[in-house]
Structure 1
Amino acid sequence: MTSLDDDQAVDTISIPLAGKSSIADHMVIASGRSTRQVASMAQKLAEKIKAETGRSARIEGLPTADWVLIDAGDVIVHLFRPEVRSFYNLERMWSFGDAPTPLAH
């Protein structure tokens, strides 16, 4: 997820889902400082996924960009504005008692 680092995403974490859920193998959660940054990160990440895999990722939430979901098959990425991320608290919901893994910069 170097694309997210390049776009100055904050508090990026990865939650392993393999063996715990059939929706994906990993979930990545990150925040942007504004709706504009969240939308930009989502578009750039979707372009990078298409360039690397040849498949288009499914994107939801781009018009408002408070919470954008990118479904790249084995990996699901959630991009939030900080207050929206705090409200939904997906880390706690999906951590299965394990601490989420912060992604190194």
Structure 2
Amino acid sequence: MLRTEIDPADCLRIVLESLEDSKAEDTVSIDIQGKSALGDYMIVTSGRSHRHVGAIADRLLRDLKDKGLGSCKVEGLQSCDWVLIDTGDLIIHIFRPEVRGFYGIEKMWQIDDNSDA
């Protein structure tokens, strides 16, 4: 399947809508453009349980594929404690709350969002 070129902001919208539809909790979107070569945005969110994390990831992967972004890299679907989905422009972390609290990954990237005044 050919990968469709989608603007990173449009991809972000697709991801956030999918996460909302899946009832993901405490979703945070972090603009990492110019801060990292990893991508343009990082999204961190939580599911209530292993099953919920897996369902969120499955739904997101299906929604991305439907939009022509089916060649994502995925890690962690076996255990569903922390699932990482890399679209190329976006990096999505889906955690169980305990695992998210332990790693505190969004705190590492949210340096100073108040400077965007």
With the length of structure 2 as denominator, give the TM-score of the two structures. Answer: 0.80
Give the one of 18, 42, 45 matched to 2:57.
42
Quote the Cα distance in structure 1 between the aligned partners of 2:68 and 2:51.
Answer: 26
2:23 corresponds to 1:11:
no
Per-residue displacement from partner, 1:53-90 (whole Å, max 9, x unpaired)? 24321110000000000001101100000010000001
Give the one of 89, 100, 110 matched to 1:95.
110
8 Å CA contact 1:46–1:56 kept in 2: the answer is no
Per-residue displacement from partner, 1:4-59 (whole Å, max 9, x unpaired)? 11111000010000011000100000000000000111011011111102432111
Consecutive unaligned residues of structure 1, counting only runs of 5 or more, are 100-105
Q: CA RMSD in A?
A: 1.1
Tell me how many residue pairs correspond in the alignment: 99
> Where does residue 35 of structure 2 map in the other structure?
20
User: Which protein has the larger Cα radius of gyration, Structure 1 or Structure 2?
Assistant: 2
Q: In percent, how many aligned pairs have the same letter?
A: 48
Quote the Cα distance in structure 2 between the aligned partners of 1:56 and 1:65.
Answer: 20
Greater than 3 Å deviation, 4+ residue runs: none
8 Å CA contact 2:69–2:87 kept in 1: the answer is no
2:99 corresponds to 1:84:
yes
Consecutive unaligned residues of structure 2, counting only runs of 5 or more, are 1-15
Quote the Cα distance in structure 1 between the aligned partners of 2:50 and 2:88.
Answer: 24
> Where does residue 103 of structure 1 map in the other structure?
none
8 Å CA contact 2:29–2:44 kept in 1: the answer is yes
With the length of structure 1 as denominator, give the TM-score of the two structures. Answer: 0.89
